[in-house]
Structure 1
Amino acid sequence: MGNAEKFSQDAVLRARVLLLGSEQPSLRERLDAYRVLATASPRAYLPKLFDALVERANELRDPDLDVVLYGEAVDAARRFGADVPDGEERLNRALHGYQHALFAVGRRAEGLAVCEELAEAGRYSRLAVVLAEEGRHGEAAELYGRHIVPGAGDDVSEWTLIEWAAELDAAGRHEEALEVFARVVDDHRHRAAEDRGPLASLVWKLEQYARMLRAAGRRAEEAAARREALALLARLAEGGEPVSWSNIQAWWVTLLSLSGRSAEPAATPEAPLPAFGVHLVHGWSPDIREEHFASIPALERQTDALRESGDLPGLIVAQRRLTVRRALLWEASGRRTEESLRPSFDEGVALARRLTTDPAALARALTDRSMFLLAVKRYEEAHADFAEATALQGDAPIVTRT
């Protein structure tokens, strides 16, 4: 018997003794034991090794170690036999964790390859997001279109439809984007009518829909959407939400960030940006999220310089970009106090009031603040701001606020 074979048998014996001992081994000890035993008895121990690797990654939450652990979990899952329960599902779960870890450490090309493998297995959403982050909006829109059945609203989440509409719009396919987003609005109308969806969320969607209609030159439909939103705000101001809802601010923040995409530079594979229209926490790649928030100090310095220079139009644009980032950080941090974010929206309105030659800028700032006030349940103030914004666009009496 050679030394290597004897060592292997000794290692297997020690691993078995460890697992069968009277004391419960630590996760790290079990993981080491499963690594040894999976080489000797893969059918019995590969699934155990897989589970321990995923558990260890969840315990450590270290991006560099996650790459190693999830990479090993992917390898283990690929070696599963056909008799392993949920083998394909477990492989996809490991691939999802692996791509997330790769993006977290900046290895985007490898992460993209993993996302492509997931897409081949029907898990296409991450690939669509990564394509969007790299400015490949036409490819992302096509990917959504291949997997979403027209009219199958019950089988497709609102989040997915919004992502698809955002990519169609970014790809210049504006009429198709409107058709998809109309499905989002219509579905929420039906649910809200049955008290199965919050009115606030419907207002945010109607405001985004109106913005898209305006860009498409469909002014009569835009005005109708804004009047519908205004009526809902009046109802909220009078009696509040008919049913209690929680944790819906992500809808507002997602649509706010989508509204600010045109002010950002175009994304490219060499300079990726967030996939605007995608849920910040559950959708953005971790490296993109980190870089976007890291840009806040530089944007703060830019706005300070613009204040000093007296460039009011430039300041309004930069200040809104900064406000959108602060709103995203507000949502991501979980510390959603009104006081921490309201000054940004108040400043946006104050600056726009000074630019008397551009009522559209004031309408935009008032609408922004209205949607924020709606998120923090300041319904009467939200209604007043939106009424003034609507009037500035020629659709209602003006009610002036400071």
Structure 2
Amino acid sequence: MAAARALDPAHPKYAEVVYDALDGCQRALYTLGRRDEGLAVRAEMLAVGRTRAESSGDGEVWGLSPWAIGLLEEGRYAEAADVLSESVARGRRRGPREGELAWTFLQWTAALDGAGRTDEALTAMAELAAMEAAEAENGGGPRACRLYVLIRYAQMLDDGLRHADATAVRSGGGEKVERIPGLVLGRPVLHVRRRQRATGGRTTPPARRHRRPPLVARRQGAVLRDP
């Protein structure tokens, strides 16, 4: 960290070098179980990301997702929802990006649901389902992600005792979405927390920040088993 901070702030790679160093630091802290310190480092990562976004003018803020996931892990769902709301707003302007926006939406709905903001979570999921349907019409987006969104949306409607709406979502998916071989669903918020503990809070470094796994279902409570 000291070497990264010693770099001239005017250097074109300053933000990336410092962000990478902070990312490595927070991973080590999470691995050691020093979660409070790791979360504090993630807050610093976000500060670096905001400063870089302002100076670059591209509007892309590094560190929003790691900070939001850290908040989710600690049960700070309302704060996570606000951070992810910003991520979604920025993502809408950029477009789907091979599932990246869908993944952010799923994180957001998980945070809203965890915060007890059920109506907002359902509204967000409805928007995501519509977005996935539009992508499907254009031949884009991974099928597994689309099916997972439909299943999760229907589950949320059922939880809200809106059974007729849930049935309509399932039947409107164009296929039997409740019985997909190898697809196992879990609760989104709990899955985020388990996964981060298992990986030591690992986050995506700047050089690969747009490269999300194509199957969003893998990262939001659904697991696709190999045959």
TM-score by length of 2: 0.71
Distance 1:83 1:287, change over 3 A: closer
Question: In the alignment, is the contact (CA less than 8 A) between 2:122 and 2:157 conserved in 1?
Answer: yes
Cα deviation code 1:100-121 (max 9, x no counterpart)? 1110111112101101111223
Pick from 179, 192, 195 the counterpart of residue 275 of structure 1: 192
**Distance of 1:82 and 1:227 partners within structure 2:** 56
Aligned to 1:314: none
More helix by share: 1
Tell me by how many angstroms 1:193 deviates: 1.2
User: What's the counterpart of residue 165 of structure 1?
Assistant: 109
Which runs of no fewer than 5 residues in structure 1 stay unpaired? 1-73, 238-248, 262-272, 290-327, 339-402
> Per the alignment, do residues 226 and 198 of structure 1 end up closer, same or farther by CA in structure 2, a change over 3 Å counting?
same
1:179 and 1:141 mapped to 2: Cα distance? 13
Which of 117, 122, 141 does residue 178 from structure 1 map onto?
Answer: 122
How far 1:285 moved relative to its partner?
A: 6.0
Residue type at the aligned position of 2:199: P
Is the contact between residue 27 and residue 201 of structure 2 (CA under 8 Å) also seen in structure 1?
no
2:57 corresponds to: none
Relative to structure 1, is the Cα distance of residues 187 and 154 closer, same or farther in structure 2, using a 3 angstrom cutoff? farther
Unaligned runs of 5+ in 2: 51-62, 203-220
Give per-residue Cα distances to partners, 1:47-101, cap 9 Å, x unaligned.
xxxxxxxxxxxxxxxxxxxxxxxxxxx2111111144331111111111111011
Report how far residue 165 of structure 1 moved. 0.6
> Quick check: 1:84 aligned with 2:22?
no
Structure 2 equivalent of residue 198 of structure 1 = 142
Q: How many residues align?
A: 189
Query: Residue 187 of structure 2: SS of its match in structure 1?
Result: helix
Letter of the 2:7 counterpart: F
- Pick the structure with greater CA Rg: 1
Q: Runs in 1 of length 4+ with deviation above 3 angstroms?
A: 153-156
Secondary structure at the residue paired with 2:172?
helix
* Deviation by residue 1:196-217 (Cα, 9 ceiling, x = unmatched): 1233432221010001111122
The code of the aligned residue for 2:81 comes to A
Whether 1:216 aligns to 2:160 is yes
Query: C-alpha distance in 2, partners of 1:258/1:153?
Result: 28
2:81 to 141, 145, 162: 141
Q: Secondary structure at the match of 1:226?
A: helix
Over 3 Å counting, the alpha-carbon distance change for 1:172 and 1:135 in structure 2 is same
1:369-384 alignment runs, 5 A limit: none
How far the C-alpha of 1:135 sits from its partner, in A, is 1.2
CA deviations 1:222-248 (Å, max 9, x no partner) are 11101123x3249xx9xxxxxxxxxxx
CA distance in 2, matches of 1:180, 1:148: 10
Contact 2:72 2:111 in 1 (8 A): yes
Counterpart pick for 1:286 among 171, 194, 199: 199
Q: What is the root-mean-square deviation in Å for CA atoms of aligned residues? A: 3.1
Instruction: Give the partner amino acid of 1:133.
Output: E
- Give CA-to-partner distance per residue, 1:250-282, whole Å, 9 cap, x none: xx56xx2226x6xxxxxxxxxxx6535x9x4xx
Contact 1:274/1:288 (<8 A) preserved: no
Please list the CA deviations of residues 338-365 of structure 1 after superposition, one character each: whole Å capped at 9, or x if unmatched. Answer: 3xxxxxxxxxxxxxxxxxxxxxxxxxxx
CA distance in structure 2 between the partners assigned to 1:188 and 1:274 by the alignment: 22
Question: After superposition, where does 1:52-71 map in structure 2 within 5 Å?
Answer: none
Give aligned-pair identity as a percent: 33
2:187 to 231, 248, 258: 258
Shift of 1:153: 5.9
After TM superposition, the structure 1 stretch with the greater mean CA deviation from structure 2, 192-201 or 162-171, is: 192-201
- Per-residue CA distance 1:350-401 (angstroms, 9 max, x = gap): xxxxxxxxxxxxxxxxxxxxxxxxxxxxxxxxxxxxxxxxxxxxxxxxxxxx
Matches within 5 A, 1:1-400: 74-120=1-47, 121-122=49-50, 123-149=63-89, 152=92, 154-155=94-95, 157-229=101-173, 231-233=174-176, 256-258=185-187, 274-275=191-192, 280=195, 286-287=199-200, 336-338=225-227
Q: Tell me by how many angstroms 1:288 deviates.
A: 7.5
Give, as a single letter, the amino acid of the residue that structure 2 aligns with 1:142. D
C-alpha distance in structure 1 between counterparts of 2:148 and 2:20, whole Å: 33
Partners of 2:25 and 2:91 lie apart in 1 by: 34
How far off is 1:158 after superposition?
Answer: 1.1
Query: Within 2, Cα distance between the matches of 1:151 and 1:84?
Result: 28
Q: Does the 8 A contact of 1:138 with 1:171 survive in 2?
A: yes
- Matched AA of 2:79: E
Relative CO higher for 1 or 2, CA cutoff 8 Å, sep ≥ 6? 2
